[in-house]
Amino acid sequence: MPDRGGSPSGPRVRVGRPSRRARTLLMTLGVLAVLAMAFVMFAGFWTDWLWYRSVKYSSVFTTTLWTKIGLFAVFGLLMGLAVGFNIWLAYRLRPPLSAMSAEQQSLDRYRMGVAPFKKWVLLAVTVLVALIAGASASGQWRTWLMWVNGVKFGQKDPQFDLDVAFYAFDLPWYRFLLAFGFAAAVLSLIAAALTHYLYGGLRISSPGARATAAATGHLSVLLGVFVSLKAVAYWLDRYGLAVKSSDFKATGNWTGLRYVDANAYLPAKTILFCIAVICAVLFFATLWRRTWQLPVIGFGLMVLSAILIGGLYPAIVQKFQVQPNEQAKEAPYIQKNIDATRKAYAIDGTKPENYSGKSTVKSKDQLRTDADTAASYRVLDPNIVSPTFQQLEQKRKYYQFPTTLDVDRYQGKDTVVGLRELNIKGIPKRNWINDHFTYTHGYGAIMAAGTQTDANGSPVFTESGLPTTGDVGTYQQRIYYGEKTDQYSIVGGPQKELDYEENGEKTTSYKEKSGVSLSGAFNRAAYAVAFSEPQILYSGAIGEGSRILYNRTPKERVEAVAPWLTIDGDAYPAVVDGRIQWIVDAYTTTNGYPYASRTTLGDTTADSLTVGNQQRAVVAQQNQVNYIRNSVKATVDAYDGTVNLYQWDTQDPVLKTWMKAFPDTVKAKSEIKGDLMAHLRYPQDMFKVQRELLTRYHVTDPAQFYSGSDAWQVPDDPTNKDGNAVPPYYLSMKMPGDSAQRFSLTTTFTPNGRPNLGAFMAVDADATSKEYGRLKLLKVTEEVPGPAQVQSKLNSLPDVAQFVRDMRGADSDIQYGNLLTVPLDGGFLYVEPVYAQGRNALYPLLKKVAVSYVDADQPDGDTTKDTTVFEDNLTEALNAVFGVEGPTEPTTPPKDGTTPPPATSNDAALKSAIADAQKAYDAGEAALQKGDWTAYGKAQEDLQDALQRAADAGAKLKTTGASG
């Protein structure tokens, strides 16, 4: 019989509950999914803990973690309780009967919908605001630690006579508490108002009173709390004026009180504080009066007062009292700003010394003699010769040198240093095993004399080869941690590592305890998840003894173990006690030093070397600061990654504060060994910050500072066309009054908007010197050509024009090296190496040296003034610039031991070089077919050498032909 409902006939299928086996399977899958998600979230935490434990800085991890957890819990709980309590209280204060109106009847549906879940809604809202507030508060861990561990500066601000620590450590925490209080008051007010509206305590369109007495009292108290917090804000704003930044047209960036702040804003804030207190009392009084009339009037008066007293009155004072006589009115405050800024940036002991720029020596022979002892002129430019190091000492494609090399001192001589680091992109065959197991480290420190080159213009290496040999002696040459090492490696296990290739392949296995052990399955699983690399979990290349190395760049490691430090942009290597140590300068900073003008570290430390090179950029915890100290010297062992932090500035209260927060993380200065001390130097970024401030703050007279008549600027680098600031240069030299050369960091200044030389500054950069950190500033009182003018004159010399034509004819590029400036007998000596790089040559060679002796105009018409020459080497250039006969510079034979061909045999030299190039090319092709990479690399070196000799001989032939 057909079904009347229209459904097909037949037995009905009953859909029942899943079987017990299916339910068990679903439950198991659900539990596994939850555990997997929990493990993914846990993996990052666990691997971080393992890494900090491996570098023996687990206390940094735990202190930071527990501080964040504590702040999250306390402030999350406070916010949740505040909002939840006010929602609950509003619900308890609801009227027993709602008014019979269309508004209330429409709300009945929402009340009925919420009624069964009101506890869950309350819990959900409370938890949500608690999580948001807790997460925000946990980000204030630095502020909390500085407040609770703050050390006195022993210096007081000139306005309120409070210790600087109040502004640096206390005020930021009070402002956070105030902001948190405002957030809690506003959220509680909104939540209470919505609850009162939902349950009839507040009405918009219903007849009768708009609010019940209970709702009026509740909301008035919350408004009273808000206004009370506003009163506290007005009071703190008074102190905030001492660290307030503003734009002062006379000086640009300004920090601290000015006349209008001290005489208008400060009293205005005090008056507004009193009005806010009275207004808050009126709101609290509604608990008894049950009316908003007086509080609303009081609140309106407070707003009006804020406009009139806090805004209009200061504008009137500025317009009619300050502007007509601004210099006189602002003078006392400018003086406070000058004093505080100079002290905050440690330039308060730097006073300009007049330096006429006029030669004090008339004898050319004496000038020439003095020039030899004035400086160790570094003709090897570390910013240019990296490709030369790369070509001559790379040895294998999987090695590399940094773009900019470093300058250090070995055996008392300025030395250019570069580490032969691993280049993962140069591995012949890329795969996971090769990338992370086989090719794990670089090998050797390559060094060259900074003051000389060989006859070909190549560096004279004092440490070279693979493994390296030279002046340094025996040391651990393997480089597992370096500036270019940004990938992880797994070492010490079953898989052997390639050590180096020289007369056969050498292998090694890492024996140190650096890194994190992967012997256990749990750690392997954690890293497989954290690095998104499942092969870590099951690869047979990982076994007993395997350790994973990561966070391998020096700056990255120091920043991780000391997250409260700002890291200098230039970590540099040094061979210390038989190990390669990366030396990292680190700073403590604050932006809460009263009256001290702020600077932006990212902008101040930028120059022609840092633009486009993030590896040389400062790692700033606070980009805007108005206090900085080079308080920590850190080292990172290139072999085992050990990080050591040494207290350098023993008086810095910011460092003392962090040492209280993280005890036993920073070692005493006395623990720095003598061999390490010999390689410590004054940091570049600190020097760049100080020189930028000294462009204005070398002036200590308020009237002169206000006028800006003696403002300077850091000149653009004249050796390139990018328009970026000239970098400071390390150089061993004598400043006027010194009896011997000092390893120094130097810079020049030009008057604002003018190209002539305005000043010259050098700092004693040798950490072993008793006068380390002495800034000596020479203010040039006469008209002397600046770097750009000297470069322009050099470019206009006929010899330079001929050289450029010859090089371009030989298809070579010209590169100007660092333009060094040295004070000499009242004038200035400029020295600039000039490099050429042929089209077929992969690296630049030193070809010429330009020297200019600039001297202010003198009535006797001395011919030594403003002389620029362009010669084959430094000795000849110094002889020529002073017009004296002297010995020629002793030439160092080329690296291959050959003797450069004489000028009369250039044609034969060219033919010989071409033949050698063809021979090397054929040898390379033969080696390539056999797969002999060692022979192929040797052939490529021979080919490049032959091509360079051919280019040199061709250029000399062309010069000879032109002169003939």
3-state secondary structure of 602: helix
- Nearest CA to 460 among 892, 9, 919? 892
Looking at residue 964, what is its pLDDT? 32
Q: What is the mean pLDDT of residues 707-736?
A: 89
pTM for the whole thing? Answer: 0.85
User: 197 — phi, psi (to 5°)?
Assistant: -65, -40
Compute the distance between CA of residue 456 and CA of residue 238 in angstroms, rounded to an integer: 68
Residue 414 phi, psi (nearest 5):
-65, 125
Residue 566: what pLDDT? 94
Region of residue 869 (left: phi > 0; alpha: psi -120 to 50; beta: else): beta
| Res. 31: pLDDT tops 90 | no
Express each pLDDT in 323-350 by its tens digit: 888 889 999 999 999 999 999 999 999 9
d(CA 571, CA 740): 28
- The string of pLDDT tens digits covering residues 862-886 is 444 568 899 999 999 999 998 887 6
Query: Per residue in 98-124, is it b (16+ CB within 10 Å) or e — as a string?
Result: beeeeebeebeeeeeeeeeeeeeebee
Average pLDDT rounded to a whole number, residues 681-687 = 95
Span 275-298, mean pLDDT? Answer: 82
**Average pLDDT in the 227-244 region?**
94
Max avg pLDDT among 174-188, 363-377, 402-416, 794-808? 174-188
Please, what is the end-to-end C-alpha distance for the chain in angstroms?
124
Confidence tier at 898 by pLDDT (50, 70, 90): very low
Query: Poorest-confidence range of 145-154, 177-186, 247-256, 376-385?
Result: 247-256
Alpha-carbon Rg for the chain, nearest whole angstrom, is 36
Is residue 244 scored above 80 in pLDDT?
yes
**Amino acid letter, residue 611:** V
**What confidence tier does 812 reach under pLDDT thresholds 50, 70, 90?**
confident
Any idea which residue has 């003034």 for tokens? 865
pLDDT at 772: 95
pLDDT computed for residue 955 by the predictor = 57
Q: Which residues pair with 507 in a beta bridge?
A: 498
Please state, in angstroms and rounded to a whole number, the distance separating the CA atoms of residues 872 and 900.
Answer: 14
For residue 907, pLDDT beyond 60? no
Lowest mean pLDDT among 35-39, 604-608, 748-752, 947-951: 947-951
Greater confidence, 775 or 104?
A: 775
Question: Is 593 a residue whose pLDDT tops 90?
Answer: yes
Task: Over range 267-272, report the average pLDDT.
Answer: 93
The 8 Å CB, 24+ separation contacts for 77-82 are 77/130, 77/134, 78/133, 78/180, 78/184, 79/129, 79/130, 79/132, 79/133, 79/134, 79/180, 79/183, 79/184, 79/187, 80/126, 80/127, 80/129, 80/130, 80/133, 81/126, 82/184, 82/187, 82/188
Question: So what's the pLDDT on residue 889?
Answer: 60
Mean pLDDT of the region 453-469: 90
Closest CA to 391 of 420, 366, 360, 434: 420
Tell me: pLDDT of 357 over 90: no
The per-residue pLDDT for range 378-402, each reduced to its tens digit, is 999 999 999 999 989 988 889 999 9
Give the pLDDT score at 912: 64
- Least-confidence region, from 149-153, 357-361, 604-608, 906-910: 906-910
Residues 6+ apart with CB under 8 A from 301: 275, 279
pLDDT reported for residue 4: 43
Report yes or no: 631 and 652 within 8 Å, Cβ to Cβ.
yes
Encoded tokens for 9: 């006939």
Q: Decide if 445 contacts 463 (C-beta within 8 A).
A: yes
CA distances from 548 to 52, 54, 519, 539 (A): 13, 11, 10, 13
Give the model confidence (pLDDT) of 525-567 as tens digits.
999 999 989 999 989 899 899 999 999 999 999 999 999 999 9
572-576 and 505-508 beta bridge pairing: unpaired
| More confidently predicted of 888 and 960 | 888
Q: What H or E segment, with its residue span, contains residue 834?
A: strand 827-838
Provide the 8-state DSSP code for 323. G
DSSP per-residue codes, 230-295: HHHHHHHHHHHGGG-EEEETTTEEEES--HHIIIIIHHHHHHHHHHHHHHHHHHHHHHHH--SHHH
Of these ranges, 237-246, 315-324, 852-861, 903-912, the one predicted with the greatest mean pLDDT is 237-246
Helices and strands in the chain: count of H runs, count of E runs: 29, 34
All residues at 6 or more sequence positions from 956 whose CB lies less than 8 Å from its CB, including other chains = 903, 906
**Residue 13 pLDDT more than 70?**
no
Q: How many CA atoms lie within 13 A of 9 on its CB side?
A: 4
Give the CA-trace dihedral at 246, 248, 254, 259, to 10 degrees.
-90
The phi and psi torsions of 419 (rounded to 5 degrees) equal: -90, 140
**10: left (phi > 0), else alpha (psi -120 to 50), else beta?**
left
Buried b (16+ CB within 10 A) or exposed e, 484-511: bbeebbbbbbebebbbbbeeeeeeeebe
pLDDT digits (tens, 9 = 90+) for 634-656: 999 999 999 999 999 999 999 99
Percentage of residues in the chain with pLDDT exceeding 70? 86
pLDDT, position 801: 86
CA separation for the pair 462, 938 (Å, rounded) = 21
Query: Averaged over 437-443, what is the pLDDT?
Result: 94
Which of the residue ranges 159-163, 216-220, 766-770 would you say has the lowest mean pLDDT?
216-220
Asked if residue 228 has pLDDT above 70, the reply is yes
Burial of 299 (0-12, 13-18, 19+ CB in 10 A): buried
Longest dimension (CA), the chain: 134
Lowest-pLDDT range of 357-366, 421-430, 789-798: 357-366
| Position 5 confidence tier, pLDDT thresholds 50, 70, 90 | very low
| Greater pLDDT, 91 or 155 | 155
**One-letter amino acid for residue 807 of the chain:** M
- Residue 808 and residue 712: Cα distance in Å, rounded? 38
How far is residue 323's CA from residue 249's CA, in Å, rounded to a whole number? Answer: 12
The type of residue at 21 is: R
- For range 923-928, the mean pLDDT: 66
